[in-house]
Amino acid sequence: MELTPTTKVIVGLGSCGIAAGAVKTYNRIKELSESGLEGFELAKTSCIGMCYKEPLVEVQDASGSVIYGDMTEEKIEEVLRNHLNGTIDHSKVVSAQKIQGTEAAFFDGQVKIALRNCGYMDPEVIEEAEQREAYAAIRKIFGSGMSSEQVIAEVLASGLRGRGGGGFPTGLKWKFAFQSESSEKYIICNADEGDPGAFMDRSLLEGDPHAVLEGMMIGGYAIGAQAGVIYCRAEYPLAIKRLNIAIDQARSKGYLGKNAMGRDGFNFDIYVKEGAGAFVCGEETALIASIEGQRGMPRKRPPFPAVSGLWKKPTNINNVETWANIPWIINKGAAAYAAYGTEKSKGTKVFALTGKIRNGGLVEVPMGISINDIIFKLGGGIQNDRKFKAVQLGGPSGGCIPAELGHTPVDYDSVTATGAIMGSGGMVVMDETTCMIDLAKFFLHFTQEESCGKCTFCRIGTKRMLEILERITEGKGKAEDLDTLESLAYQIKDNSLCGLGQTAPNPVLTTLKYFRHEYEAHIFHHKCPAKVCKPLLTYTIDPEKCTGCTVCAKKCPTTAIDGGRKQVHVIRTEACIRCGECFTVCKFDAVLVD
Residues facing 526 on adjacent strands: none
Share of the chain above pLDDT 70, in %: 97
Q: Mention the CATH class of domain 126-337.
A: alpha beta
Using the predicted structure, report yes or no on whether residue 392 has a pLDDT greater than 80.
yes
Please state the separation of Cα 27 from the chain's center in Å. 28
pLDDT digits 0-9 by tens, 291-339? 999 999 999 889 999 999 999 999 999 999 999 999 999 999 999 999 9
Q: Are strands 561-562 and 591-593 parallel, antiparallel or unpaired?
A: unpaired
Amino acid at 8: K
Q: How far is CA 382 from CA 214, 353, 385, 393, in A?
A: 38, 12, 6, 16
Considering only 78-87, 99-108, 366-375, 462-471, which range has the smallest mean pLDDT?
99-108
Question: What CATH number was assigned to the domain covering residues 436-524?
Answer: 1.20.1440.230
pLDDT digits 0-9 by tens, 11-64? 999 999 999 999 999 999 999 999 989 889 999 999 999 999 999 999 998 888
- DSSP structure class, residue 349: E
Q: Are 371 and 349 in contact (CB under 8 A)?
A: no
Architecture per CATH, domain 537-593, reads as 2-Layer Sandwich (3.30)
Question: What CATH number was assigned to the domain covering residues 8-95?
Answer: 3.40.30.10
pLDDT digits 0-9 by tens, 130-164? 999 999 999 999 999 999 999 999 999 999 999 98
- pTM comes to 0.92
Question: What CATH number was assigned to the domain covering residues 348-431?
Answer: 3.10.20.600
Query: Which candidate, 439, 431, 401, 430, places its Cα nearest to that of 533?
Result: 439
Task: Return the domain boundaries, the chain.
Answer: 8-95, 126-337, 348-431, 436-524, 537-593
Half-sphere exposure of 128 (CA within 13 A, CB side): 17
pLDDT digits 0-9 by tens, 568-580? 999 999 999 999 8
| pLDDT recorded at residue 192 | 79
Amino acid at 478: K
Q: Are 493 and 502 in contact (CB under 8 A)?
A: yes
Considering only 45-54, 190-199, 369-378, 507-516, which range has the smallest mean pLDDT?
190-199
How far is Cα 141 from Cα 151, in angstroms, rounded to an integer? Answer: 8
Q: How far is CA 546 from CA 80, 581, 582, 591, 592, in A?
A: 50, 16, 12, 8, 11
Amino acid at 255: Y
Mean pLDDT, the chain, whole residue set: 92
